[in-house]
Amino acid sequence: MSSTPTTKERIVIASAELFRRQGYTGTGVKQIVAAAQAPFGSLYHHFPGGKEQLGEQVIRIAGGMYGELVSAVFDPAPDVVTGTEQVFTLAAQHLAESDYADACPIATIALEIASSSEPMRIATAEVFEGWLEKLASRFTAAGIDPATARTLALTTLSLLEGAFVLCRAARTTEALLAAGTQAAAAVRAALPEA
Protein backbone atom coordinates (compact mmCIF):
# COMPACT_ATOMS: atom_id res chain seq x y z
CA MET A 1 0.00 0.00 0.00
CA SER A 2 1.38 3.39 0.99
CA SER A 3 4.13 1.89 3.14
CA THR A 4 6.86 3.22 0.87
CA PRO A 5 5.86 6.51 -0.75
CA THR A 6 7.70 7.26 -3.95
CA THR A 7 9.95 10.27 -4.34
CA LYS A 8 7.27 12.01 -6.35
CA GLU A 9 4.68 11.36 -3.65
CA ARG A 10 6.98 12.64 -0.92
CA ILE A 11 7.56 15.84 -2.90
CA VAL A 12 3.84 16.41 -3.33
CA ILE A 13 3.08 15.72 0.32
CA ALA A 14 5.87 17.97 1.58
CA SER A 15 4.82 20.75 -0.81
CA ALA A 16 1.21 20.52 0.31
CA GLU A 17 2.16 20.94 3.95
CA LEU A 18 4.52 23.83 3.29
CA PHE A 19 2.16 25.64 0.91
CA ARG A 20 -0.66 25.40 3.42
CA ARG A 21 1.43 26.99 6.18
CA GLN A 22 3.60 29.46 4.25
CA GLY A 23 1.87 29.88 0.94
CA TYR A 24 3.18 29.24 -2.55
CA THR A 25 5.52 32.19 -3.06
CA GLY A 26 6.74 31.88 0.52
CA THR A 27 7.99 28.35 -0.02
CA GLY A 28 11.22 27.64 -1.91
CA VAL A 29 11.90 24.56 -3.98
CA LYS A 30 15.04 23.91 -1.92
CA GLN A 31 12.92 23.84 1.20
CA ILE A 32 10.53 21.42 -0.47
CA VAL A 33 13.15 18.85 -1.49
CA ALA A 34 14.77 19.14 1.93
CA ALA A 35 11.45 18.41 3.67
CA ALA A 36 10.71 15.59 1.23
CA GLN A 37 14.20 14.16 1.72
CA ALA A 38 14.45 14.06 -2.04
CA PRO A 39 17.35 15.02 -4.27
CA PHE A 40 17.02 18.39 -5.93
CA GLY A 41 17.04 17.08 -9.47
CA SER A 42 14.14 14.73 -8.84
CA LEU A 43 11.77 17.65 -8.58
CA TYR A 44 12.52 18.76 -12.12
CA HIS A 45 12.53 15.18 -13.34
CA HIS A 46 8.99 14.56 -12.09
CA PHE A 47 7.77 18.10 -12.73
CA PRO A 48 9.41 19.40 -15.92
CA GLY A 49 7.18 22.47 -15.68
CA GLY A 50 8.96 23.43 -12.48
CA LYS A 51 7.40 25.02 -9.44
CA GLU A 52 4.23 26.10 -11.22
CA GLN A 53 3.44 22.59 -12.45
CA LEU A 54 4.16 21.23 -8.97
CA GLY A 55 1.84 23.86 -7.52
CA GLU A 56 -0.95 22.89 -9.87
CA GLN A 57 -0.62 19.20 -8.96
CA VAL A 58 -0.52 19.98 -5.26
CA ILE A 59 -3.70 22.03 -5.55
CA ARG A 60 -5.55 19.20 -7.28
CA ILE A 61 -4.25 16.39 -5.07
CA ALA A 62 -4.47 18.19 -1.73
CA GLY A 63 -7.83 19.63 -2.77
CA GLY A 64 -9.14 16.18 -3.59
CA MET A 65 -7.92 14.75 -0.30
CA TYR A 66 -9.50 17.58 1.68
CA GLY A 67 -12.80 16.98 -0.10
CA GLU A 68 -12.64 13.33 0.97
CA LEU A 69 -11.84 14.40 4.51
CA VAL A 70 -14.88 16.67 4.64
CA SER A 71 -17.05 13.89 3.25
CA ALA A 72 -15.72 11.53 5.93
CA VAL A 73 -16.95 13.99 8.54
CA PHE A 74 -20.18 14.95 6.82
CA ASP A 75 -21.52 11.58 5.70
CA PRO A 76 -21.62 9.61 8.98
CA ALA A 77 -23.70 12.38 10.62
CA PRO A 78 -27.34 11.53 11.29
CA ASP A 79 -28.58 14.43 9.14
CA VAL A 80 -27.29 17.29 6.97
CA VAL A 81 -27.75 19.89 9.69
CA THR A 82 -25.51 18.16 12.21
CA GLY A 83 -23.17 17.11 9.39
CA THR A 84 -22.70 20.76 8.45
CA GLU A 85 -22.05 21.79 12.03
CA GLN A 86 -19.60 18.89 12.54
CA VAL A 87 -17.43 20.08 9.66
CA PHE A 88 -16.94 23.46 11.31
CA THR A 89 -16.46 22.03 14.79
CA LEU A 90 -13.80 19.57 13.69
CA ALA A 91 -12.11 22.15 11.49
CA ALA A 92 -11.86 24.42 14.54
CA GLN A 93 -10.46 21.61 16.65
CA HIS A 94 -7.88 20.65 14.05
CA LEU A 95 -6.87 24.28 13.50
CA ALA A 96 -6.28 24.88 17.20
CA GLU A 97 -4.38 21.59 17.59
CA SER A 98 -2.05 22.54 14.73
CA ASP A 99 -1.22 25.85 16.43
CA TYR A 100 -3.46 27.66 13.94
CA ALA A 101 -1.50 26.49 10.93
CA ASP A 102 -3.64 23.86 9.21
CA ALA A 103 -6.70 25.50 7.71
CA CYS A 104 -7.75 25.18 4.06
CA PRO A 105 -4.95 23.56 2.02
CA ILE A 106 -5.48 25.73 -1.05
CA ALA A 107 -6.98 29.06 0.05
CA THR A 108 -3.64 30.80 0.61
CA ILE A 109 -2.35 29.65 -2.77
CA ALA A 110 -5.64 30.65 -4.41
CA LEU A 111 -5.37 34.26 -3.22
CA GLU A 112 -1.67 34.49 -3.99
CA ILE A 113 -1.79 33.37 -7.59
CA ALA A 114 -5.33 34.38 -8.68
CA SER A 115 -3.95 37.26 -10.72
CA SER A 116 -0.62 35.83 -11.81
CA SER A 117 -0.91 32.15 -12.83
CA GLU A 118 -3.79 30.96 -14.96
CA PRO A 119 -2.97 27.23 -14.73
CA MET A 120 -2.91 27.37 -10.95
CA ARG A 121 -5.92 29.69 -10.74
CA ILE A 122 -7.95 27.26 -12.86
CA ALA A 123 -6.84 24.38 -10.63
CA THR A 124 -8.10 26.19 -7.51
CA ALA A 125 -11.38 27.06 -9.26
CA GLU A 126 -11.95 23.44 -10.27
CA VAL A 127 -11.20 22.13 -6.79
CA PHE A 128 -13.60 24.62 -5.21
CA GLU A 129 -16.24 23.74 -7.80
CA GLY A 130 -15.83 20.06 -6.95
CA TRP A 131 -16.39 20.78 -3.28
CA LEU A 132 -19.44 22.89 -4.08
CA GLU A 133 -21.03 20.13 -6.15
CA LYS A 134 -20.30 17.58 -3.45
CA LEU A 135 -21.90 19.81 -0.83
CA ALA A 136 -24.90 20.65 -3.02
CA SER A 137 -25.55 16.96 -3.71
CA ARG A 138 -25.75 16.31 0.04
CA PHE A 139 -28.32 19.07 0.35
CA THR A 140 -30.46 17.92 -2.58
CA ALA A 141 -30.35 14.38 -1.18
CA ALA A 142 -32.00 15.82 1.93
CA GLY A 143 -34.87 17.16 -0.16
CA ILE A 144 -33.65 20.68 -0.83
CA ASP A 145 -34.28 21.98 -4.36
CA PRO A 146 -31.17 22.29 -6.57
CA ALA A 147 -31.10 26.08 -6.79
CA THR A 148 -31.28 26.49 -3.02
CA ALA A 149 -28.75 23.71 -2.57
CA ARG A 150 -26.28 25.54 -4.81
CA THR A 151 -26.72 28.77 -2.85
CA LEU A 152 -26.33 26.91 0.44
CA ALA A 153 -23.15 25.24 -0.80
CA LEU A 154 -21.73 28.63 -1.79
CA THR A 155 -22.53 30.26 1.55
CA THR A 156 -21.37 27.26 3.58
CA LEU A 157 -18.00 27.15 1.84
CA SER A 158 -17.69 30.94 2.02
CA LEU A 159 -18.36 30.82 5.76
CA LEU A 160 -15.72 28.12 6.21
CA GLU A 161 -13.04 29.84 4.13
CA GLY A 162 -13.67 33.26 5.62
CA ALA A 163 -13.70 31.96 9.17
CA PHE A 164 -10.36 30.26 8.50
CA VAL A 165 -8.88 33.65 7.64
CA LEU A 166 -10.20 35.30 10.80
CA CYS A 167 -9.25 32.38 13.04
CA ARG A 168 -5.68 32.10 11.81
CA ALA A 169 -5.23 35.87 12.27
CA ALA A 170 -6.79 36.00 15.75
CA ARG A 171 -5.56 32.59 16.91
CA THR A 172 -9.07 31.85 18.14
CA THR A 173 -11.79 29.45 17.02
CA GLU A 174 -14.53 32.01 17.67
CA ALA A 175 -15.28 32.76 14.00
CA LEU A 176 -15.39 29.08 12.98
CA LEU A 177 -17.87 28.25 15.74
CA ALA A 178 -20.11 31.20 14.88
CA ALA A 179 -19.89 30.33 11.18
CA GLY A 180 -20.79 26.70 11.87
CA THR A 181 -23.85 27.71 13.84
CA GLN A 182 -25.09 29.99 11.07
CA ALA A 183 -24.32 27.46 8.33
CA ALA A 184 -26.25 24.75 10.18
CA ALA A 185 -29.16 27.11 10.80
CA ALA A 186 -29.32 28.06 7.12
CA VAL A 187 -29.43 24.39 6.11
CA ARG A 188 -32.15 23.67 8.67
CA ALA A 189 -34.24 26.60 7.38
CA ALA A 190 -33.98 25.28 3.82
CA LEU A 191 -35.11 21.77 4.74
CA PRO A 192 -38.62 20.75 3.60
CA GLU A 193 -41.23 20.31 6.30
CA ALA A 194 -40.79 16.95 8.03
Partner DNA sequence: GTCTATAATTTGATAGAC
Partner DNA sequence: GTCTATCAAATTATAGAC
The CA distance from 68 to 33, in Å, is: 26
Q: Which does 171 bind (CB under 5 to 8 A by kind): DNA, a copy of itself, none?
A: a copy of itself
Per CB under 8 A, 116 contacts a copy of itself: yes
Q: Which does 39 bind (CB under 5 to 8 A by kind): DNA, a copy of itself, none?
A: DNA
Per CB under 8 A, 114 contacts a copy of itself: yes
Binding site for DNA (CB under 7 A): 6-7, 27-31, 38-42, 44-46, 50-52
The CA distance from 52 to 138, in Å, is: 33
For residues 79 and 129, which CB has a smaller minimum distance to a copy of itself in the complex? Answer: 129
Q: Which does 151 bind (CB under 5 to 8 A by kind): DNA, a copy of itself, none?
A: a copy of itself
For residues 120 and 152, which CB has a smaller minimum distance to DNA in the complex? Answer: 120
The DSSP code for 6 is -
By the 8 A CB rule, do 117 and 24 touch? no
User: Residues in the chain, how many?
Assistant: 194
The CA distance from 86 to 100, in Å, is: 18
- The footprint of a copy of itself on this chain (CB under 8 A) covers a number of residues equal to 46
Report which residue type is found at 94: H
Per CB under 8 A, 166 contacts a copy of itself: yes
By the 8 A CB rule, do 80 and 142 touch? yes
DSSP alpha helix (H) spans, 25-117: 29-36, 40-46, 50-74, 80-97, 107-113
In whole angstroms, the minimum distance from the beta carbon of 125 to a copy of itself comes to: 5
Q: Which does 38 bind (CB under 5 to 8 A by kind): DNA, a copy of itself, none?
A: DNA
The CA distance from 145 to 131, in Å, is: 18
Residues in contact with a copy of itself by the rule CB under 8 A = 21-23, 25-26, 99-101, 103, 107-108, 110-112, 114-116, 121, 124-125, 128-129, 151, 154-155, 157-166, 168-171, 174-175, 178-179, 181-182, 186
